[in-house]
Amino acid sequence: MSKPVVLIADELSPAVLAELGPDFEVRHVDGADRAALLAAAPEASALLVRSSTVVDAELLAAAPRLVVVARAGVGLEHVDVRAATQAGVMVVNAPSSNVVSAAELTVALMLAAARQISPAHAALRRGEWERSRHIGTELYEKTVGIVGLGRIGVLVAQRLAAFGMSVIAYDPYVQAGRAAQVGVRLVDLTTLLEQSDFMSVHLPRTAETVGLIGDAELHRVRPHLVLVNAARGGIVDETALYAALKEGRVGAAGLDVFATEPAVESPLLELDNVVATPHLGASTQEAQEKAGLSVARSVRLALAGELVPDAVNVQGGVIAEDVRPGLPLTEKLGRIFSALAGEVAQQVDVEVRGEIADHDVKVLELAALKGVFADVVAETVSYVNAPLLAAERGTAVRLVADPESPHHRNLITLRGTLADGSQVSVSGTLVGIHQRERIVEVNGFDVDLEPTDHLAFFTYDDRPGMVGSVGVVLGEAGVNIAGMQVARASLGGRALVALSVDSAIPHDALVEIEHAIEAWSVRAVDLTDDPARP
């Protein structure tokens, strides 16, 4: 019997071959040579790539035997995950391979910007010995603000603490006790902006974080601030940063990522107080070897039909057929839960009720946590690291399985307790022969809504005219309502409008709705798969 073909389309660490072992026929192709790649694809059971190979619908159609695409790195910008899912092809990556390398590059950029290493080096190359011109700044006894206290943020905080720095952080999804364990004081974003001498960004790129550090924020900072972004481009508004650097409102910047890459024509590169690298966060020998070994293990598991923890689209392994359709719904419920909560929950219960509770539903707990943290941490969330992320943030997790479900054949609920004791909940089910996903409960209100890409939830005091006010604002903003549900606890009591819309609701429109209906809470949810998300 012939061995499965593993096609390697980019240069990988030699350790990958050793990890794959003798059970596979390993072939190599230049992934940048499209014709050669398409010619080699039909016999491949697995495809290993890095960043040079584009995996799209055309390539997937040319590879009928393909079981798994493995990206030896974190980002999936060049892999069409949706097309792979539709083709039944698993996509895996190496979510933890570059965390140390990214943290070290962050520190390197901070030091380089603080000590003016880039312009000093350039001057010396020109034959200029300008010691007095390049006067730098020490990190010792300065305050550094970490925006996003995920795994990389924590590693950066630990390394900068060793420089004798005072470390503060902003992350609404991390509890103060967890931050204190790593020697970090949590503050709000405004306080961080106003108190930081140095600042480093470690957030995922989502609809909520794009432009988070913009013109208004950069008018709050100290004029000697050194700002570093080695996370994702677009979180720092580059136009606003350029103006702040030119006007002396920001002292220096260290950048490894840009909103549009390659960024060879960025005006930021013209400034002497900017040190920049071409997205080198994962570009170390160690990170590449870790990534290669990680995806090689995933390929072996996938081709053996076993559980693949780092699958980003299709969970492998022995999962009951009745449970499997609930995985994508549960992930969406997790993302909706986080948007509704707006902060880390102290306790999260994953309640699985109905017929599927007779099966092993542990994987639904993992799917829920994967969704809960998908939009709130910079690193890629998988079935393996989701429980660790919950533990790091002090979130207790409990799985409740009960075959009794009074109103639905099967019901999945995420219920959480926040720091102030308040409760957040969202429930979903699958209906009909085609197993259509439906949201059926939000914070105690009964609804019936399809979890489309763009959702919004407004809570307010029940009174006439409120639904019309919401519609008027959205109409003026050019946002089309696809579905709407209105629910209330009692006449004149608290009420909820739940919407599915065709496009993201602009922030200004959300603020206008909040004022127009005097809302208790306004929450927008984006369930799209942003390819720029790490």
Question: Which CATH number belongs to the domain containing residue 171 in this structure?
Answer: 3.40.50.720
Give residue-wise pLDDT tens across range 324-338.
889 899 999 999 999
Tell me what the mean pLDDT of segment 45-66 comes to. 92
Give residue-wise pLDDT tens across range 467-480.
999 999 999 999 99
Give residue-wise pLDDT tens across range 401-439.
999 988 899 999 999 999 889 999 999 999 988 889 999
307 CB burial (10 A radius; 0-12, 13-18, 19+): middle
User: In this structure, is residue 86 part of a structural domain?
Assistant: yes
**What CA–CA distance (Å, rounded) separates 20 from 419?**
46
**What CA–CA distance (Å, rounded) separates 207 from 147?**
16
Burial of 218-233, coded b for 16+ CB within 10 Å and e otherwise, reads beebbeebbbbbbbbb
Whether 288 and 207 map to the same domain: the answer is no
List active site positions: 232, 261, 279
Whether 138 and 70 map to the same domain: the answer is no
Tell me what the mean pLDDT of segment 360-378 comes to. 88
Whether 87 and 114 map to the same domain: the answer is no
Judge whether residue 273 has pLDDT over 70. yes
Whether 132 and 266 map to the same domain: the answer is yes
Looking at residue 387, what is its pLDDT? 84
Tell me what the mean pLDDT of segment 139-150 comes to. 96
* Whole-Å CA distances, 481 to 463, 467, 499: 21, 12, 7
CA 509, chain centre distance (Å): 24
Judge whether residue 210 has pLDDT over 60. yes
Looking at residue 493, what is its pLDDT? 86
Contact 181, 207 (CB under 8 A): no
Judge whether residue 162 has pLDDT over 90. yes
Residues facing 226 on adjacent strands: 198, 252
Percentage of the residues of the chain whose pLDDT score is greater than 70: 96
Whether 290 and 230 map to the same domain: the answer is no
User: Which residue, among 88, 198, 87, 205, has the nearest Cα to 144 in the 3D structure?
Assistant: 198
Q: Quick one: pLDDT band at residue 380, thresholds 50, 70, 90?
A: low
Looking at residue 51, what is its pLDDT? 81
Whether 67 and 105 map to the same domain: the answer is no
Looking at residue 11, what is its pLDDT? 87
Looking at residue 532, what is its pLDDT? 37
Q: What is the tally of structural domains in the chain?
A: 2
Whether 27 and 84 map to the same domain: the answer is yes
Whether 131 and 219 map to the same domain: the answer is yes
Beta strands in 72-189 (DSSP E): 90-92, 143-147, 166-170, 185-186
Query: What pTM was computed for the model?
Result: 0.74
Judge whether residue 531 has pLDDT over 60. no
User: In this structure, is residue 464 part of a structural domain?
Assistant: no
With H, G, I as helix, E, B as strand and everything else as coil, classify residue 465.
coil
Judge whether residue 315 has pLDDT over 60. no
Give residue-wise pLDDT tens across range 443-501.
999 999 999 999 999 999 999 999 999 999 999 999 999 999 999 878 878 999 999 99
Domain that holds residue 296: 1-96+282-318
Tell me what the mean pLDDT of segment 150-177 comes to. 93
**What CA–CA distance (Å, rounded) separates 72 from 30?**
15
> Which range (176-180, 396-400, 516-520) has the least confidence?
176-180
